[in-house]
């Protein structure tokens, strides 16, 4: 009597185990076929705006009024490069004349190479070099300041080295124009009116 019952139990259990084995095997096979998402270690700005293969060194086409005006450009230069407002209307008018008569690149050069910017960013610049195991020949301080003023961030290592090479070959005006024609800077220009409004609320001059 026990033997037929045992046989009947085996007949029920064996197909059951076999079915489970097939289901588990299929699930494992599906798991193995799933694509694995790689971890992206590139920082966001570099990922969205890669370095240009053929940079444009002509002065960028800065929108004219009514989008924004020269007064706004000078205010933003002070806030971005020097992290302060202009001290009076006279200096603002002086920089407006530089912008209108000599262009975007000369305005940028004036701020990037100024003694005040050099002192203002000195500590952050050397911290950047130390954190990335770099020296000042690999990423020049002018490039660090240019990134801070134009892109409102520190350089990424590859970008810093790239534009330092451009600086050694062509000078700081070429760097300002090249970054000014970059996709990242154009992205900043897309919302420049908001920056202009904030600057007007923040600064008297």
pLDDT at 150: 97
Do the domain assignments include residue 19? no
Residue-number span of the structural domain to which 116 is assigned: 44-202
pTM of the model as a whole:
0.73
- Reported as a single tens digit per residue, the pLDDT across 155-165 is 999 999 999 99
> Does some domain include residue 81?
yes
pLDDT in tens, 56-99: 888 887 665 545 689 999 999 999 999 999 999 999 999 999 99
- Give the residue from 93, 102, 141 showing the smallest Cα distance to 119: 141
CATH number of the structural domain spanning residue 130: 1.10.3130
Query: For residue 60, what pLDDT is reported?
Result: 81
Residue labelled with tokens 């534009």 = 163
Share of the chain residues as helix, strand and coil, in percent rounded to the nearest 5: 70, 0, 30
Residue-wise pLDDT for 136-195, tens only, equals 999 999 999 999 999 999 999 999 999 999 999 999 999 999 999 999 999 999 999 999
Q: Which pLDDT belongs to residue 68?
A: 64
Report how far residue 60's alpha carbon sits from residue 31's, in angstroms, rounded to the nearest whole number: 51
Rounded Cα–Cα distance for residues 192 and 176 (Å) = 18
Question: Which strand (E) or helix (H) includes residue 183?
Answer: helix 183-190
| Residue 59: predicted pLDDT | 80
Whether the Cβ atoms of residue 199 and residue 76 lie closer than 8 Å to each other: yes
Q: Is residue 29 part of a domain?
A: no
Residue 156 lies in a domain: yes
- Tally of structural domains, the chain: 1
In a domain, 17, yes or no: no
Q: What's the pLDDT tens digit per position in 35-52?
A: 323 333 334 544 447 787
- Assess if residue 122 is contained within a domain: yes
What's the confidence (pLDDT) of residue 96? 95
pLDDT at residue 22 is higher than 50 = no
Q: What are phi and psi of 57, to 5 degrees?
A: -100, 5
Instruction: Please report whether residue 18 resides in a domain.
Output: no
Q: Which residue has the higher pLDDT, 10 or 79?
A: 79
The pLDDT assigned to 3 comes to 54
> Could you tell me which of 80, 136, 67 has the C-alpha nearest to residue 112?
80
Residue 155 lies in a domain: yes
pLDDT in tens, 106-121: 999 999 999 999 999 9
Query: Which long-range contacts (C-beta less than 8 Å, at least 24 apart) are formed by 61-65?
Result: 62/104, 62/180, 62/189, 63/189, 63/192
Residue with more model confidence, 134 or 7: 134
The four Cα atoms 164, 169, 172, 177 give a dihedral, to 10 degrees, of: -90
């Amino acid at each position: 009597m026990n033997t037929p019952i045992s046989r009947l139990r085996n007949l029920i259990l064996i197909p059951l185990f076999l079915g489970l084995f097939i289901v588990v095997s299929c699930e494992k096979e599906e798991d193995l076929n799933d694509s694995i998402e790689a971890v992206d270690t590139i920082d966001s700005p570099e990922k969205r705006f890669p370095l240009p293969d053929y940079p444009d060194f002509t002065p960028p086409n800065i929108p004219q009024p009514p989008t924004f005006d020269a007064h706004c450009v000078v205010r933003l230069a002070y806030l971005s490069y020097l992290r302060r407002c202009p001290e009076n209307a006279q200096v603002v008018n002086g920089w407006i004349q530089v912008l209108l008569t000599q262009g975007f690149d000369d305005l940028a050069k004036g701020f990037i190479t100024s003694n005040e910017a050099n002192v203002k960013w000195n500590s952050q610049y050397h911290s950047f070099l130390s954190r990335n195991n770099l020296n000042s020949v690999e990423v020049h301080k002018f490039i660090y300041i240019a990134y801070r003023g134009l892109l409102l961030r520190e350089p990424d290592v590859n970008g810093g080295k790239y534009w330092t090479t451009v600086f050694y070959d062509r000078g700081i005006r070429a760097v300002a124009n090249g970054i000014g024609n970059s996709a990242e800077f154009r992205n900043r220009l897309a919302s420049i009116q908001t920056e202009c409004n904030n600057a007007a609320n923040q600064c008297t001059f």
